[in-house]
Amino acid sequence: MSVIIPPSLPAARIDRDWRATYYQDMADAVFFSDADFEQYKAFIYKESGITFTPTNRSILESRLKERLRGIGIDSVKTYFVKISTDKEELKNFLDTITTNLTRFFRNQAHFDALERYVIPELIKIKQKTGNNTIKIWSAGCSTGEEPYTIAMLLSEILPSPWKFEILASDISLKCLMTAKEGFYQENRIVGIPDSYLKKYFDKVEGGYKIHANLMSKIRFDYHNLKNDSGQRNLDLVFCRNVIIYFDETAQTAVINRFWDAMASKSFLFIGHSESLFGMKTQFEFVKTEWATFYRKFV
């Protein structure tokens, strides 16, 4: 916090005008007042479901400063008018405030459960329908490590003639650009088994690039989870480490939209620190020896 020391003035000059100017300067020096915070908080929640609390207010403040610096605006009030009226800038703003941490094979136990339980179950279920394509959605895919992990694993384990298709979506356009490019620096490559690295990546200058064939299995798209995706009959949804940023009302709305998007027998993975416990949903909790997840079985 910066403190403005009032200049020492001759007593005769300490009049009303001077005080008015001084206190106005003080107000301007407060970059992000409590009232601004409340206004931004309500707006962000309405536009994305992301919930800021007094505890993570400083994160919002520093990301906001970064964006304002980037586009040369110096007041959060001016910027608020901009994001309320300019849809493109609203997207940039939401991009700025998201947390995009991810990695390949994040929470390996989920992929063990996918390989040993979920995929064999789905094959049994779908065999009866004559449809041999497994439809997957990686919702909140960030820079693509999650959908590429799923794609590598399914390429390895799905027996012929089974196929899969993945929709990967996020609210962050920057992340989606990285994901679509499929280029990862050396330090992002950790956790990928050597055999996968050889088979699904090309070594290029400064890092690795995903093979075009694997990329072609994934469709990256902008989607804000506060809206209906229009997806139906999905066999598998991954939405890990996303709803943790939402409050309970927004979480319930997103989870119920997944329900509508999923096939009558299908599976849902959420992050290991996330839970549907106490939530009004019809998903059933499934505990396997590898990991826990949810299923829709109607």
Ligand X SMILES: C[S@@+](CC[C@H](N)C(=O)[O-])C[C@H]1O[C@@H](n2cnc3c(N)ncnc32)[C@H](O)[C@@H]1O
The residue ranges that bind ligand X (CB under 6 A) are: 48-50, 98-102, 106, 140-142, 146, 170-172, 175, 224-226, 240-242, 245, 271
Residue 10 beta carbon to ligand X: minimum distance, rounded to whole angstroms: 56
Residue 207 or 271 with smaller CB distance to ligand X? 271
In this structure, which amino acid lies at residue 266?
Answer: S
Residue 269 beta carbon to ligand X: minimum distance, rounded to whole angstroms: 9
Residue 22 or 45 with smaller CB distance to ligand X? 45
Residue 197 or 253 with smaller CB distance to ligand X? 253
Residue 124 beta carbon to ligand X: minimum distance, rounded to whole angstroms: 27
Q: Which of 1, 8, 5 is nearest to 25 (CA)?
A: 5
139 φ, ψ to 5°?
-95, 120
Residue 92 or 100 with smaller CB distance to ligand X? 100
Distance of alpha carbon 173 from alpha carbon 226, whole angstroms: 16
Residue 200 or 269 with smaller CB distance to ligand X? 269
Q: Which of 145, 139, 100 is nearest to 225 (CA)?
A: 139
User: Residue 287, class by beta-carbon neighbours within 10 Å (0-12 exposed, 13-18 middle, 19+ buried)?
Assistant: exposed
Q: Would strands 218-222 and 207-210 be described as parallel, antiparallel, or unpaired?
A: unpaired
Cβ contacts of 18 within 8 Å, gap of 6 or more: 9
DSSP 8-state code for residue 115: I
Question: Is residue 147 within 8 Å of 179, Cβ to Cβ?
Answer: yes
Residue 170 beta carbon to ligand X: minimum distance, rounded to whole angstroms: 5
91 φ, ψ to 5°?
-60, -45
Residue 72 beta carbon to ligand X: minimum distance, rounded to whole angstroms: 25
Distance of alpha carbon 179 from alpha carbon 102, whole angstroms: 12
Polymer length in residues for the chain? 298
Residue 114 beta carbon to ligand X: minimum distance, rounded to whole angstroms: 14
214 φ, ψ to 5°?
-70, -40
Residue 206 beta carbon to ligand X: minimum distance, rounded to whole angstroms: 22
